[in-house]
């Protein structure tokens, strides 16, 4: 069976850009999906979000995807957000992206 929770479904997707006009619902759903199914997009390493998802959800998503040695999936290396976060949050995101 092939579907969104099957790691083979989006096997070669390397970059994802989520643009939305009214609110962060797609960004939030993407982050929630990646928390639950971190292997869904095994080649994905560039993510661009037009709205901030909830900060806790964003950080958990980055932590689940990037911490540890997972040979079956790429780590996120680039994350674009609509506005640069505050200094402390920026440092945490930077560390999660570069400690791979």
Sheet holding 46-49, edge to edge: 15-18, 46-49, 78-80
Q: How many domains does the chain have?
A: 1
Residue 9 lies in a domain: no
C-alpha triplet 58, 62, 64: angle, nearest 5°: 115
Position 81 in a domain: yes
pTM over 0.85: no
Q: Where in the sequence is the domain holding 36, given as residue range(s)?
A: 15-98
pLDDT in tens, the chain (100 residues): 344 555 556 788 899 998 877 766 889 999 999 999 888 899 999 999 988 899 999 999 999 999 877 888 899 999 999 888 899 999 999 999 986 5
44 lies in a domain? yes
Report the first-to-last Cα separation within the chain, whole angstroms.
31
Interatomic CA distance for residues 31 and 57, integer angstroms: 6
Q: What gap in Å lies between CA 32 and CA 35, rounded to an integer?
A: 5
Q: Is residue 6 part of a domain?
A: no
Domain presence at residue 10: no
Is the distance from CB of 67 to CB of 99 less than 8 angstroms? yes
- Whether 48 is in a domain gets the answer yes
Q: Is residue 22 part of a domain?
A: yes
For residue 95, which phi and psi values (nearest 5 degrees)? -65, -40
Considering the domain boundaries, does residue 7 fall inside one?
Answer: no
């Amino acid at each position: 069976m092939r579907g969104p929770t099957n790691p083979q479904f989006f096997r070669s997707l390397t970059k994802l850009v989520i643009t939305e006009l009214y609110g962060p619902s797609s960004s939030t759903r993407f982050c929630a999906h990646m928390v639950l199914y971190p292997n869904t997009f095994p080649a994905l390493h560039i993510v661009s979000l037009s709205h901030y998802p909830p900060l806790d959800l964003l950080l958990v998503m980055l932590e689940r995807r990037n911490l540890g040695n997972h040979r079956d999936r790429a780590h996120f290396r680039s994350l674009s957000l609509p506005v640069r976060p505050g200094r402390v949050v920026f440092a945490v995101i930077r560390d999660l992206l570069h400690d791979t």
